[in-house]
Structure 1
Amino acid sequence: MTGKPEPVGARHLLFALAEQSPEEWPLLSGGGRISAELLAELRALVVARTGYAPLKSEDMAAWQALLAGPTTPPPSPAERTPLLSDSPATVDELGRKPLADALAARLVRLQRDEAASAQPKAVMVHLHGPWGSGKSSLVRFLEDTLKAQDPPWLVVEFNAWRNARVKPPWWNMLTEFKRALDRRLPWWRRRWLDLRWAWVSPSVENVYMVAGGLLALAAAAFAGSTITGVIEKWQGTLGGIITATGVAISFLRAPMLGGRRAAESFDALRTDSFRPFITLFDMLVTECPCPVLIVLDDLDRCDAGTVTDLLEGIQTLFRGQPVVFLAVADRYWITASFAQRFSLFEDGGDKARPVGDLFLDKMFQVSVTIPALPVAVKRAYLGRLLGAAETDLPEEARLPETAVRHEEIQAAIAAAPEEQRPALRAQAVARLSTAAADKVVEHRLLR
């Protein structure tokens, strides 16, 4: 029982014999067998006599456990766990929602400040975390909080990885913005938006359809005439001008202002030809009756060219409106992408700060890191996955009302038991994300 070699005494031998089943004992002189009750009494007598004068290393608790008799171990549970999807979580099992709520409160303040300024600018936010850290789940909780605002935010979900084959990558982001806005607007405003969108950027198909319609009308008007007569009559009328204009639009304006190919042409030209796309973006923001969050998800699954082209396009084309852009990606993936793109500059500049880090700091105003999971949260989550009995998070504790400054909050969390710290950290995030807490930090930085 102790795990160490110990001398075996008579009491050990007697107890071992008494543990044998009655069938294994020899027959009594009268032909019968000893009963199980008598063997139990013998075992109890051995333990009682041992308790009168135990040896120095005697473990009476172990003797009592032997006296209780062997117990049948419970059947082992089936070794299976449920299959989990890689989709963002809808239930907060890891305590991420307080951080999402705090981030939402900060984004609301930043967007309002930019919208009220004389020269509003976009708000660039970066959510950092390695693969599998739960970035997309945190974004889901953030979206829920922003959609519950008054007025509800318009959240545009753009998966950069799924659209990586479309160049430039910001073109599909723009069209995804329009599709999301269409779902928010009433039908008559959608039709008006479609007309304005077609006027600024008519698709190739629409222009070809108009040109084809003009030609069909011309053919119907001059039905029955010879080809030579049609040409002569058409050249002498206003139809010639209309046809020439339609052909010019079809072969010039449409390829330049159409869909993906148009965007690629403009991206290659790098001139003021980008103006129509800036106009389209400004038009969408103006038509939107609420603040806008554009989520750039799965950036850290794209190649370096897609990452840099998308972020550069947003910086150069779409920074003139108070829209919040949230880039969801591992920061090292972004810095490595810019380092590869601008490897020529790695030999110069600040040796302590790579060129990728410099781009990251210049691009984003706010950077948030997915926090590591406390041990108590991990234990509870894994327990729920494995079907353990004790799977609930510890009872929530409260931060003292007197803890306002950062040092006071940190001290209160450090003094609490480990199982209560996750709840206290969640409250600390919410308490330190208020405008009043920002003012305290500003005054301390001034000093």
Structure 2
Amino acid sequence: MDKGFPVLSDAPVGLGGDELGFGRYVDPLVQVITDEATETPFTIGVFGPWGSGKSSLLRMIDQRLAEEHPGRTVRVHFNSWVHRGEPHLLLPLLHTLQDTLEQDGRRRLREAAGRIGYVIAHLTSDTLLRRVSGGAVTLDKLQELSQQYAEQRGKVHSELRGLRRTLQEQADRAADDGARLVIFIDDLDRCQPHEIVDLLESVKLFLDLRHVLVILAVAKNVVDQGIAVKYREFGFDAAKVLEIGDEYLDKMVQLPLSLMPIDAGGYLGSLPMPSGFAEHRSLLGEIVVPNPRRIKRVLNTLAVTCAMGGPGLRPDVVIRLVVLRVQSPDLYDAIAARPHLAAALEDMYAGRLPLDRPDRLIERYGQAEAEPVAAAVRRFHRSQDYLRGVFRGTAFTEVTDELPRYLTMLGR
């Protein structure tokens, strides 16, 4: 690896580093957000698999709003993953909303910030419940605590009702001043399934308001998992869970935007390749999944491997193994346990492996290995489309005796 080769960061990028071509999304979405003709409440859903660039798109939208429409929006940024594990994500969402409104330079929503702070203080006073449930107490004391708890909960419920009313009043006031409240909610993918559904329900309950726009970034399959967890007692099958997930998002999201898969080859062309691997860029473009995060992980692993691997390594073999390690760890582990499995899969894709002839398999791999190799080939052959490119040709067959060295270098 060249000493100056940069390891690639996975941090979200702004408009100045848009190798993904997301600029085509930004202007239309900013137009929707700032256009007075857009009726509110309004929710934009940015959907895409893990690592597809959703956070970068949200950052670009925020950057464009800040640069071109600074006085027309109050922008709130909530990172769900930072607050994972909280009893309910509503509280940190309210904290974030409060902090942003207090910092609004024109003080349009300061009253709402004060009301939110009051609600948070009461919501976090549920220590009464813990006092009731823990430790020995007398009947009189239990009744006293129960009464206090009921009174406190009543105050909280009253404040929650008032919170929505206050938020609406202050959003209306901001609108009179020419501004809208824009709430960015990111990294939902990284939260637990039940947390995702709880947060979405809170957003619908408290932020479905005039002059308020919400931008959600999430992978749809994660929402489906949350639905499956939340309603597991109903015993819905997979098809029903997908149907409920679609209906759930349809009720929340007025503008769904599914990120189109990137052109892996084109994206690779915008990124630096480690020394010695550039001539195999087309191979990498064929077998790597079109996912920015996965592509950067592959390139970073290639860079480190190149630095520590020593002479004599074939770049095309290293590329294949690194892609397997990142994209199909189960298959990579199976090859690490039985290196001759890689050549067997090459033979299988080429039609040269006689799975229906146990005697031939025993002759090739020995009595002890014949059946495990055959079972692994049956499991992984055609399990993913990109594997056809990985096992095309005879690269693994040509380095069968040296493959343990490659695998030791890459680790498991």
1:320 corresponds, among 200, 209, 226, to 209
Kindly indicate whether the alpha-carbon contact (under 8 Å) linking 1:94 and 1:377 is maintained by their aligned counterparts in 2. Answer: no
Shift of 1:369: 1.4
Call closer, same or farther: CA 1:203–1:88 in 2, change over 3 Å. Answer: same
By how many angstroms is 1:194 displaced? Answer: 5.8
Contact 1:335/1:359, CA 8 A, preserved across alignment: no
Q: What is residue 113 of structure 1 aligned with on the other side?
A: 38
Deviations 1:92-114 (A, max 9, x none): 122212211222223333x6432
Gapped regions of structure 1 (runs ≥ 5): 1-76, 115-120, 208-250, 267-271, 391-447
In structure 1, the partner of 2:224 is: 335
Q: Describe the shift of the 1:346–1:103 C-alpha distance in structure 2 as closer, same or farther (beyond 3 A).
A: farther
Structure 1 residues 254, 105: closer, same or farther in 2, change over 3 A? farther
Structure-2 separation of matches of 1:378 and 1:162: 29
SS at match of 1:89: coil
Tell me the CA shift for residue 336 of structure 1: 1.8
**1:18-38: CA deviations, max 9, x gaps?**
xxxxxxxxxxxxxxxxxxxxx
- Asked if 1:85 corresponds to 2:9, the answer is yes
Count of aligned pairs: 253
Q: Is the 8 A contact 1:159 1:297 kept in 2?
A: yes
> How do 1:23-62 and structure 2 match up within 5 A?
none
Q: The residue matched to 1:382 in structure 2 has which SS?
A: coil
Q: Structure 2 unaligned runs (5+)? A: 126-147, 280-412
* Alignment pair present for 1:295 and 2:219: no
SS state at 1:124 partner: strand
Determine helix, strand or coil for the equivalent of 1:127: strand
Change (3 A) 1:378 1:386: farther
Mapped contact 1:297–1:327 kept (Cα < 8 A): yes
Task: Tell me: CA distance 1:299–1:284, structure 2 relative to 1, closer, same or farther (3 Å).
Answer: farther
Q: As a proportion of its length, which structure holds more helix?
A: 2
Write the mapping of 1:276-295 to structure 2, written as runs, cut at 5 A.
Answer: 276-288=162-174, 289=177, 290-295=179-184
Give the deviation of 1:362 after TM superposition: 2.4
Query: Is the CA contact (8 Å cut-off) linking 2:98 and 2:113 kept in structure 1?
Result: no
1:374/1:162 CA distance change after superposition, 3 Å:
same
1:362 corresponds to which of 251, 264, 267: 251
Higher-Rg structure is 1
Q: Give the deviation of 1:256 after TM superposition.
A: 4.6
In structure 1, how many angstroms separate the alpha carbons of the residues matched to 2:276 and 2:70? 40
Q: Superposed, which structure 2 residues align to 1:144-183 within 5 Å?
A: 144-147=63-66, 148-149=68-69, 151-183=71-103
Matches within 5 A, 1:364-403: 364-374=253-263, 377-383=266-272
Change beyond 3 A, Cα 1:81–1:253: farther
Q: TM-score, length-normalised on structure 2? A: 0.52
Mapped to 1, the partners of 2:105 and 2:53 lie a distance apart of: 32
1:126 paired to 2:45:
yes
Q: Deviations over 1:356-405 (max 9, x none)?
A: 22212222111111222235632421247879999xxxxxxxxxxxxxxx
Choose which of 268, 274, 294 in structure 1 pairs with 2:160: 274
The answer to whether the 8 Å contact 1:334/1:356 transfers is yes
Contact 2:81 2:187 in 1 (8 A): yes
- Tell me the equivalent position of 2:318: none
Instruction: Name the TM-score, length of structure 1 as normaliser.
Output: 0.48
* Cα pair 1:335 1:360 within 8 Å, conserved: no
Structure 1 segments, 4+ long, off by >4 Å, are 189-198, 251-258, 344-353, 384-390
Q: Distance in 2 between matches of 1:370 and 1:330?
A: 10
C-alpha distance in 2 between matches for 1:106 and 1:95: 19
Q: Secondary structure at the match of 2:184?
A: strand
TM-superposed CA distance for 1:280, in Å, is 4.1
Change (3 A) 1:333 1:201: closer
How far 1:143 moved relative to its partner? 0.8
SS in 1 for 2:77: strand
C-alpha displacement of 1:81: 3.3
Distance in 2 (alpha carbons) for counterparts of 1:295 and 1:101:
17
**Aligned to 1:305, what secondary structure does the other structure show?**
helix
Tell me how large the CA RMSD over aligned residues is.
4.0
Q: Assess if the C-alpha contact under 8 Å between 1:123 and 1:325 holds in 2.
A: yes
Quick one: structure 1 residues 322 and 287, their matched pair in 2 at CA, closer, same or farther if it must change by over 3 Å? closer
Confirm or deny: 8 A CA contact 2:44 2:255 kept in the other structure: yes
Larger mean CA deviation between 89-98 and 139-148 belongs to 89-98
Contact 2:116 2:163 (8 Å CA) reproduced: no
Structure 1 residues 85 and 382: CA distance shift in structure 2, 3 A: closer
Question: Within the alignment, does 1:95 sit opposite 2:21 as a pair?
Answer: yes
Give the drift of 1:323: 1.0
Give the secondary-structure state (helix, strand or coil) at the position aligned to 2:45.
strand
Q: Is the 8 A contact 2:94 2:120 kept in 1?
A: no
The answer as to whether partners of 1:122 and 1:320 remain within 8 angstroms in 2 is yes
Distance in structure 1 (CA, Å) of the matches to 2:149 and 2:233: 37
Does the residue aligned with 2:101 lie in a helix, a strand or coil? helix
Q: Residue 396 of structure 1 corresponds to which residue in structure 2?
A: none
Residue pair 1:345, 1:355 contacting (<8 A) in 2 also: no
Q: Deviations over 1:307-364 (max 9, x none)?
A: 1111111212321323111111111111221122123455499859532222122221
**Is the Cα contact below 8 Å between 2:98 and 2:116 reproduced in 1?**
no
